[in-house]
Structures are given as C-alpha cells and as structure tokens.
Structure 1
C-alpha cells in the first residue's frame, strides 16, 4: 500500500511543481502579489510530497518488500540494515529520487531563507526551480518509476545491492555529491531570473553568491569522498583514474570554481556580468550532462547505472530543453548586459579573468576527453581510448599558468596596480617559493623535476596567500591602530574563506605532487612467513584466516609492518565473496598516517598455496583529501560573512527596489 502512496505522492509533487512554475512566474509578469506569494507554500508542498515518496521507498527497503521491482533488484533480506537505508540510492531509480528530493531541499531553503530578496525576484527563482523539477518528475514517472510492482509474481528474495556500494563511503558520498550537483540549480535559477527580468546589475550576483558557495562546498566534499572511496574500495591503490563518471563530477566543480570567483568580481566591481551569467548556466548544464552520462548507459564505468535507451533519450531531451532554452535566452539578452566598472591591464580583475579562462580550458579538456571516444564510436569510426596520460599532460600545461595567476591575483589591487610594486612582491614570493620547494624535495631520494615543479607551485600559493594577508593588515599595524592579532580578527569571514580556499588547494597540490612522484608499489608472491622491503618498511605475511560476514564470506590476509625492527601496524586485507551476486570484492588493508599510507590488497591464491599481494607505500596521499576539506571549510567561512545576513541583504534589496539602475558599489 505504501508503494502506491509513494507513487501517488510523486504525481502530486509533479502537479505542485507545475503550479510552482506557472503561478509565481505569471504573477511576477503581471505584478500580482497574491500569485507571487504562492511560490513559498508551493515550494513547501513540493518538498513534502517528494519527502513522503522517499519515505515510502525507504520503508519498502527496510521491510524487504520485494514486490517492488526496484527493491527486488537492489536489496536482499541478508543485507545489513544500514545498507538497506542507503540502497535506496544504490540504483538508477532511487538515485534519481534522491536527486529530486535534494532539488526540493534547495528549493525549500531558497523559499525559507530568502526573505530579504524582493518578492518578484524570489517568485521567478522558485518558478524556474519548479520547471526543473517538472522534468525530473516526468522522467521518474514515465521511464524510471521506483514504485513499479512485480505483481502478481515476485521473488521471495532480492538480487542484493552491488557489493561495490556496500561500503561506508557510499553512505555519505552520493548525498554530498548530489547536494553540489543540484545546488548549482539555484545559481542557474538566479541567472535565468535576471535574464528574464532584464535587471542584469550586480544585485543578482550578491543574492546568488552564498547559494553558489554552498553548492561548491558540497561538491568539493562530494568529489573528494568519491576519490577517497575509489582509493580504498577498488583495490587499485590510485586516488584518481580519470574514469568518465569521475570526470562527470569534476567538470561542474571546475566551472563552479570559476563561477565562485566571477561572482565575487561581479558583486564587488560590477564587471564580467555576461561571463558570470554564462558560467552559472554552464555549471548547472554540466551537472545535468553528468547525470545524462552516468544514467543513460552511453559510458562504461564502475560508477554508472543500468542502461536503457528510453531513459537516455529522455534525459537527452531534457538537456536540450534546459540547456538549449537557457542559452537561447542568454543570446537574446546578452547585448543588454553591460559592465560599468573600469580597470587597467594590470589589475586584480584581469588576473581573475585569466584564471577563469584557464579553468574553462581545463573543463573543455575533460569534456572533450570524455566525450570524444563516444562520438568517435557513434560515427562508425571505431573505438578509441583516451586515458590518464592525455589528461595528466594537458593539466600540467594548464595548471602552471593557473597557479601563477592564482598567486598574483590577491596581491594586486582592483582597477589598477603599480607594475613596479607588484613586480617586487612577485620576485620575493618567487624566490621564497623556489627555495622552499627545492629544499623540501631535496629531502626525498631520487627527486624528480615534476616534483620540484609541483612543490614550487604549492609553496607559491602558500607564500602569496600569506603575503596578501600581511599586505591587508599592515596599514593598521603601522598606524598603531591595532595589534597583529586584532588586525587579523578584523578581516572579514569572506576574506578568510578565500585564504582557506587557496591554502586548501596548495595542500591538495602537495599531496598530488608527492604521491605521484614517490608512490611505490610491488606485486609480490608470498607464502606464510615471507617478507618484502619497501621504502624502509618490512611487510611480513602472517597468513590467511576465514571470516563470515552478514552477507559474505572472506579470506583475510594478515600482514605485519615493521620499521627499524619496530612493529608499525598489522594490516588486514580481505577478499570477499558475495554469494547472492556471485561477486568477489577486494577490501584493502590500509594504515593511514600524516605523511604516508601503507596499503595492502589481497590477490588470488596461487597453485602451491602462495598468495599474490599488492603492496604500496603512498607518501602524503591524505593531504589530497585534507586540502579538499579545507577548501570546503573556506566556502563555509565565505557564506557566513555578515554581508550575506538578512539585514544586509534587506538593505541591498531595498536599494535595488528604489533605484534598480543604481548598481551596488561594495568591496570586501
């Protein structure tokens, strides 16, 4: 019965989404206050109906209702209870329901926490989010209904959840990733609302910026969690494989990073307006493209869901409508978007635009590298593969100038910057970066040129960030107004967000550099009592034990690790067998530390009773994910800035309402 109620709830959510997309938009066009006021209760209704549908599906999983086709295909009675909750998004239909629920969460948040935004603007934004919701409700009800029944005949037990997804990482990774994906719909809605109204001043950028920062922070954590999960779960020992589904998440993150910076310039300096609108459209468009790639079956990936041509065609049609319609509107309005700010050739605006260009170029590289093999095959030209060497080489070319501008930008001033003064700062920072990077890398045996380059770039970002903070507080200290600590406290939350974002990027870059240059691995054949030495560590194979899990059995390899004859850790690497799906999975044994990971993966048993093992020592690999979390914390700091609190936004809204032609003039 609950499955039917869930299906009915989805139908009702679709009806509410239609009303949300029509009434507030028409009310904004006609200036009808009551119609515009309907936006908030309709947004609440859309969320409640979708949340109830999600509850019904979760109930079916927890109570093993295998008459529901999706439950039968994705769960099993022996599945641990916590995985039954997460199996709701473990397949195609449920993941799309989660996607839509998160869209409703963002819509509800905008409705509840945007009281300071003019009613007309809010009505248009919520109506656009309702239009996006219509497409996804139709997709679920017509092609991917999670409540379809297997009546009158249904299995007594389910096919089980994919063993790859029976992991803690998959409990937290998809919700975080979807929060980022879908969060860009808010920036998209603000941009489209501004295009529709024709009021393309910098006000919309201020209203949109905290929502964009929130989405970017979620996506940063989501991408990092996906990388971490692939590292320890797949047993390959790598942190990024340039898998098509990884690329699908990476592209909106890159363009979202460009959008975050461009919004800051548009808000503060009233320039790059047209470019910022385009980036807002592109960020959400790439999120939708990622949805299409993963769920249409056109790409083969360990992350992708079941393929169905009808589903792929529907999502493709949705892409054409949303992306094509928004770009058409952008083309119509682009001539009206004029930037009023003025700036010289040497200025922060120019350096930020340069970084935007390199980020966009990086997105195009990933996009072409992901789609070209697909297009090549569909044109009947045969199968080709574009792998990691292509992406690694192209990103090396792009990241050097990007990092250079990333350091110079904060040191420069808005409008105009003295080239002589800036050159002096650059030379000091460059000298310190070269010294620090080369000195640190000299501490590693067999240092490489690429490691030198990566560390110098990392320290360049760190040193220029510290110099920028010093440059910001020095006048107050020199004038005797405040102490150093007091001056640091005077810096805005938004400024600290920028500092943490740049430092987090530097930490990630250090991790990428060192693990890429000095990662060591051995594929070995070992009998009980055998040992192997790797980077100063002795790995001793102690033997195999048996383990019976809740829905699997496993061979467990026990490996003691010694350094200088002292026991460092005992690693347990598993080879699990899941009888329902007849799948064998590898669970690596990992000892994580501040400066290295010890990693052991169990291979196959050999003819004479020996076992094959893969052993890795991975220096500073955890810095990759630590840096990502620091970047996300920087985004949270920026959101907490007092400029985005209700009172300040209300004053902005009031000013815009009284004189919409008078653009805001505020800088941090």
Structure 2
C-alpha cells in the first residue's frame, strides 16, 4: 500500500519544501534588516529542511521510474518497461518536470552549502544571502507545483506501458551533461545572492568579492564541463560529426558562461584594487539572469530543438514573469544602493586593470552579439513580423574576430602590473614570447597538416601568444626565488587556476582552428567488399548484420580500417530502430585519438545491398574538450585557494557581533 502512495509522498514533500523556502526567504531577511539574531538564525535550519524534503521528493520520483509506475504522467510519457535501468535513472531528468525538480534540488543544495560554509562571515550577510536564495527557491518550487507537477497522476486511465524515453536521450550523455549544466546555472544564483546581499548591507568592498569568488569559480567550472559534455554528446550522437551548431539552446548555455567569465575577471579587479564595483554587481545580476533566460528558452516551447522541452505557453509565461521580477527587483536595489557605496580608483591605460577592462568589454560585446542573434528571430516571430533564420555565418563572422582580438589582450594581462606599468617594461616581458608565437605558429602547420592553411596558422599564433607569456612569467618568478621549490610554492593556487584556465582556452582554440579547416569528409556508397581510401586509411566494408538490443533492432556494419603501415582495426557503426516509438537512430563508430578521430556513420539502406556511409577524419577534435576540462580544472584549483576563506583580523570582532566589518563601514562612507 505504501509503495502505491510514493507519488503522493513526493508531492507532499514538495509542498513542505515550498513552505520552508518561504520561511527561509522572509524571516532571515527581516532579521538582517532589524538586527534580530534569533530571526537570522532561521536561515540554516530552513535551508537544510528544504534540501531534505526536496531530496525526498526526488527519491520518490526516481522510485516511480524504477517501479514502472505508469499511473504517473511523466513516467508514462518518458519511460518504458523495456528501458534499461540506467536509462530509467537518467530519464528522471530527461523531461521538463523532472529536470525542473532536479534544478530545484540543486538550488537547495547550493543554498545549504552557502549557509554552512559561510560561518566565518558576518551573520547578517549570511542571513541575506540565504534569504535571497530562499526567494529564488520559492519561485521555482511554485513553478513546479503550479505548472509542472512531476507527480501528476493519469488515474483511472493509466496506460499498460510507457511511451519510452526519446532515443536521442538514451545515451550516457544524458547521465552527465544535464546535471553538470544545471549545477553551473544554479551555482550562479549564489553569486547573485552575494551581490544583492552586499548591496543591501552596504558592503561593496573587497570582502564580498573574496567571499563570492570561490562560488563564481565553482559555478563557472561546472558550466564549462556541462558545455563541453554537451558538445561531445552532439558530436557522436547526432551522426553529422559537428561539435557546435549555434543552436539557440546551445547559445542559452554559452551566454551565462561568457558573462560568468567576465564576472570572474571583474571580481579579481574589485578584490585586488577596489575598482569595477558597480560593474561587478551588474555582471553578477546579468549572469544569473542569463541562466534564467536559458531556462525560459529551453522550457517555454518557443524553440524547436533536439535540446528543448516543448511545453504549453503557461510554463514559459511563468518563467518569463519570474525572470522579469528577478531582473527588475535586482536592478532596483542596484539603482538605490550602488551610488552610496561606490568610489573611483585610478589606473592608467597601460595596466592590468585596463587590460582586464578591455577583455570584460569584449566578453560583454560577444554576449550581446549572441543574445541578439538568438532572440531577434523569436521576437520577430512573436510579433507576427515574419520568420528569419540566424545561423552559423552570422555568429562566426562576429564571434571569431572578437575572440581573436580578446586573445591579444589575454597574452598581455597576466604579465602586466596593477594600476600602472611603463610600456618599455611590458614590452621587455612579452617581445620574445610574441616572436616565438609568430615563428612557431607559422611553422607547426607545415609538419602535420595536409596543406598549409592561413586560418590554422592564425589560430596557432594566438594560442601560443596566450600561453608563452604566462610560461615566461612563471619562469621569472621561480628564478627570483632562492630555490625552484620555494618559487613554485610562492605562486598561489588562484594564479595556477588562472594559468590552467588560459591554457584551456588556448588548447580549445587550436582544436577549433585545426578541425574546422583540416577536417576531411566523404559521403560514399558502400556494399560488402567495397573499399574507400581517406587520409591515409583504407576503409573496407566487410559485412552487415542485424542484432537485437534491449529495446531496439539494429543494422550493424563491420568495417576493416587499415593504416598505411599495414596495421588494422575494426569499426562498427549502427542504424537502430527503437521498438516503442518506431524512431530510427544513427549510432556512430569512433576511433578516438589525441591527434585525430576517425568517424563513421551509417546512413540509409540504398536498396541494392549497398548503404550510404559517412567517413570523416577529424584532426585534433579531442583538443576542444581537453581545453574545456583544463578550464574547469583551473576553476576548481582557484576554489580551493585558502585565502578566499580568510577573514581580515580587523573584521573578526565585527563579524562575531553581527555588525558590518570595518572595511565595509569605510566603503559606505567613502
């Protein structure tokens, strides 16, 4: 009897979580405003309770999937009794209702961590941060309960079997990509909460940026991994061999990543120099707002995409209202509070400050460019002014040159000094790296590629220009120390994180330049016994056979691939037909390598014993995702830098008393 009530238990847990989120939002914020410690003390218990009951709700939904309870609408629409158990687990978030529940669970987890790991911060600051996260959590839980109840029943007319999970989603990519992406999206809510709390408390100083930087780096690292996994998933799952198509839903994840990248650099300047304060807060607001906008695009039904959840307009309207309220209230708080706590800090045009400012501006221009290209067709369509398509030519023609310009400043920023720096000194630090980047970038493509390519050369030069000045700077730091070991120890983890992040950008740039320009593709007609040569490999189709999977039928081709040196290996692409939906799918065969991928996709049966086959040689394609992992690793390393968890001695007494630290008080009167 109890097992039949699992969906009701989950629904009841959601209602309790909503009530706790409302208490978490109202009481601690009121306590911080009136300086009542008892009211502020509600934040951590309510954050913990919200997380516990959301975890119960999520466990109940998972149990419904595993038990094939097709009386639950979302289970009936997104699962099947033949679906393997591991896909049932990922099917929980492979739909609109489950994904929003997972989003809310992750949001509560971030809120709980923010309250627990901020014990050394001023009490009123923690109460404001947790209260703002409670407001956001309450908004999403209302969205779940009002428009997207994952426990809605189909009684009494429940189906005997489920519709099945979309075959595109029956892949390991669904297991890892959405959770990572959501962790990044939701993580920026903590940074947003810190920014608004700093405004409300009059603490736009170096202290709040030091508190917010680890959360920013962590959210950015998760989002970076999520985007990289999405690119990798599309590469091998969709069968066309592409890794980025400028799909609106892809853009929805790239927009907060770009804004978050600008925010990371702006926080560094605010912490170190006390400048860019208002700009940093605006970036925090913009980054989280773009995360919410991505949620709207994916779940509103305004987009037709393999990534999107097409839903009724009421859901899109709810998220749009939530986005409008968030942006309006946060900008109102900014307009009222920012002028009271800001002041100007001077720096010359040639300094790290100015170089980071230029990169921030370029990142914002790139964000606006992509935002315009993504939303403009939707706005025209909504107003009935016609349908237009904005595709890769628009985005590439603007994004690529802006990236190249930004790379020039990326090479200078890490080696420049704060506030001011003589031009001759900066030139002495970078001229050798510049010459080396030019020479190596021009010559490396001569040794590996099929032919010399100017675009590949430019990509190599820019990537080397990013990396070599940092290498020179590290060598100079180590040489200046009494020993090599001590020299490396003097370099902070935050600096190593920056180095890895920039190295990841450079590696990705090389991968993009090479695979975009030196990719070889052939679409051929092959029957058993036919051979095709490509890029030094001979592909021979040996046979085709049928096989049955757990919930599909597959035509499997076996190809013998022989290298020029006589060694060989086998590749087996498939064409699958899923039984529950009747939907065909291409399962590509990949031979991955550090320097190249071989990519084989089986097309259509041409009717005379032959099949259409797509063969591709993709040099350095793995560098795209290797760069993403290096960037994310840089973010993680920066998070664990202990200096972000230190509190200045002059502020400790004020923190224990729950008052504003001395640094914040001085900022408020500046």
* Corresponding residue for residue 604 of structure 2: 604
Identify the residue that residue 493 of structure 1 maps to in structure 2: 493
Does structure 1 residue 452 correspond to structure 2 residue 457? yes
Distance 1:485 1:341 in 2: 36
Moved more, 123-132 or 490-499: 490-499
Report the Cα distance in structure 1 between the residues aligned to 2:519 and 2:649, rounded to whole angstroms: 53
Cα distance in 1 between the residues matched to 2:202 and 2:661: 16
Task: Indicate yes or no: 2:138 matched with 1:134.
Answer: yes
Q: Report the 3-state secondary structure (helix = DSSP H, G, I; strand = E; otherwise coil) of the residue aligned with 2:543.
A: strand
Q: Secondary structure at the match of 2:567?
A: strand
Q: Is the 8 A contact 1:183 1:215 kept in 2?
A: yes
Paired residues in the alignment total 658
Instruction: Verify: 1:461 aligned to 2:496, yes or no.
Output: no
Select the residue among 414, 417, 442 that pairs with 2:418. Answer: 414
1:163 maps to: 167
Residue 58 of structure 1 contacts residue 85 of structure 1 at CA under 8 Å; is this kept in 2?
Answer: yes
Aligned equivalent of 1:506: 506
Q: Choose 327-336 or 487-496, whichever is displaced more.
A: 327-336
Please state whether the residue corresponding to 2:254 is helix, strand or coil. Answer: helix
The 2-side partners of 1:371 and 1:651 are apart by: 48
Note the 1:625-644 alignment, pairs <5 A.
625-644=625-644
Q: TM-score scaled to structure 1, two decimals?
A: 0.96
CA–CA separation in structure 1 for the residues paired with 2:605 and 2:390:
33
- Rounded to whole Å, the distance in 2 between the matches of 1:648 and 1:472 is 27
Write out aligned runs for 1:271-290 (5 A): 271-290=275-294
Contact 1:560/1:571 (8 A) holds in 2: yes
Judged with a 3 Å threshold, the aligned counterparts in structure 2 of structure 1 residues 613 and 260 are, in CA distance, closer, same or farther, namely: same
Q: Which secondary structure does the structure 2 equivalent of 1:381 belong to?
A: coil
Alignment partner for residue 253 of structure 2, among 246, 249, 252?
A: 249
Q: Of the candidates 81, 87, 93, which is equivalent to residue 83 of structure 1? A: 87
Distance 1:366 1:466 in 2: 33
Give the C-alpha shift of residue 472 in structure 1. Answer: 2.9
Map of 1:428 onto structure 2:
432
Q: Distance in 2 between matches of 1:7 and 1:280?
A: 33
Q: Is 1:362 matched with 2:370?
A: no
Distance, in Å, in 2 between the alignment partners of 1:347 and 1:234 is 46
Distance across 1 between alignment mates of 2:410 and 2:100: 37
What is the aligned partner in structure 2 of residue 534 from structure 1? Answer: 534
1:599 aligned counterpart, secondary structure: strand
Is the aligned partner of 1:113 residue 2:112?
A: no
Deviation at 1:653, TM superposition (A): 5.1
CA distance in 1, matches of 2:77, 2:650: 54
State the secondary structure of the residue aligned to 1:369.
Answer: helix
Identify if the C-alpha distance between structure 1 residues 662 and 120 changes in structure 2 by more than 3 Å, giving closer, same or farther: closer
Q: In structure 2, how many angstroms separate the alpha carbons of the residues matched to 1:250 and 1:643?
A: 30
Unpaired stretches in structure 1, ≥5 consecutive residues: 477-481
Following the alignment from structure 1 to structure 2, what is the Cα–Cα distance between the partners of residues 445 and 59?
Answer: 54
Distance 2:263 2:661 in 1: 28
Could you tell me how far apart the structure 1 residues matched to 2:574 and 2:270 are? 53
Residue equivalent to 2:386: 382
Distance 1:237 1:652, change over 3 A: farther
Measure how far apart 1:485 and its partner are. 3.5
Q: Confirm or deny: 8 A CA contact 2:241 2:599 kept in the other structure.
A: yes
Q: Is the CA contact (8 Å cut-off) linking 2:202 and 2:664 kept in structure 1?
A: no
* 8 Å contact from structure 1 (residues 569, 591) kept in 2: no
Partner of 1:659: 662
Report the 3-state secondary structure (helix = DSSP H, G, I; strand = E; otherwise coil) of the residue aligned with 1:566. coil
Kept in 1: contact 2:68–2:75 (CA 8 A): yes
Q: Once the 2 structures are TM-superposed, how far is the Cα of residue 658 of structure 1 from its aligned partner?
A: 4.5
- Which residue of the partner structure matches residue 479 of structure 1? none
Give the aligned partner of residue 71 of structure 1.
Answer: 75
Q: CA 1:445/1:312 → structure 2, altered by over 3 Å: closer, same or farther?
A: same
Unaligned runs of 5+ residues in structure 2 are: none
> Contact (CA 8 Å) 1:429, 1:463: kept in 2 or not?
yes
Superposition RMSD in Å: 1.4
Aligned to 1:47: 51
1:392 matched to which residue of 2? 396
Q: How far 1:450 sits from its partner (Å)?
A: 1.1
Offset from partner CA, 1:263-321 (integer Å, 9 cap, x none): 11111111100010000001100000000000001111110002211111111111111
* Greater displacement, 373-382 / 287-296: 373-382
CA deviations on 1:552-607 (whole Å, 9 max, x unpaired) are 11011111111115234311111111011110011100000010000000000102
